[in-house]
Amino acid sequence: MKHCPNSFGGKAKKRKLIAVGSFWNANVCTGSFRGFGLTVADPILVQAAEDVIQSSLSSYQRLSTTDQSRYIGVLYDQLRWVSAMVGSTRDSQGVPDPNLLSKEDQSQVLSFGFGNVAILERMNLLVPDEFNGLDYIYEG
């Protein structure tokens, strides 16, 4: 389980990670919502998202510099696919709901949605802000 230090200084206090979010091209304030926003809070899915993030970063770092450069285009294609998949689902109130996807598609959405955003952040190709990047929510 992941923990973060107390941000108020002094002795670090361990805090439990309770949710993880991944956002890409999702500016709801301006109406420019070409991307997606995913948040998982179920403990099993939080751990799965963390595992995907670490695995994706490790796999990407093992690639040669040439292969890393080639793979960037694939990352963006996969993120566009995630956006289309999430956008294709609607609950009874018209809100996108990835839970309506097949289990296989949900797995791919989780993998690409969290792993690729983590890689783009690490490579400084995605600058985290209130509409893009990974968000970690801790208890207390």
For 125, phi then psi, to 5°, come to: -95, -10
Question: For residues 18 and 46, is the Cβ–Cβ distance under 8 A?
Answer: yes
Task: Return the pLDDT at 3.
Answer: 38
Per-residue pLDDT of the chain in tens (140 residues, 90 and over written 9): 333 444 444 455 678 999 999 999 865 555 555 788 899 999 999 999 999 999 999 999 999 999 999 999 999 999 999 998 988 888 888 777 888 889 999 999 999 999 999 999 999 998 888 789 999 999 98
Task: Return the pLDDT at 2.
Answer: 39
Task: Return the pLDDT at 11.
Answer: 53
Query: pTM here?
Result: 0.82
Helix (H) or strand (E) holding 116: helix 103-122
C-alpha span between 5 and 59 (Å, rounded):
27
> First and final CA of the chain: distance in angstroms?
15
C-alpha span between 98 and 36 (Å, rounded):
10
Q: What is the CA radius of gyration of the chain?
A: 16
Tell me how many degrees the CA angle 55-46-69 measures, rounded to the nearest 5.
30
Q: Which two tokens stand for residue 126?
A: 């995605």
C-alpha span between 100 and 114 (Å, rounded):
18
Task: Return the pLDDT at 115.
Answer: 97
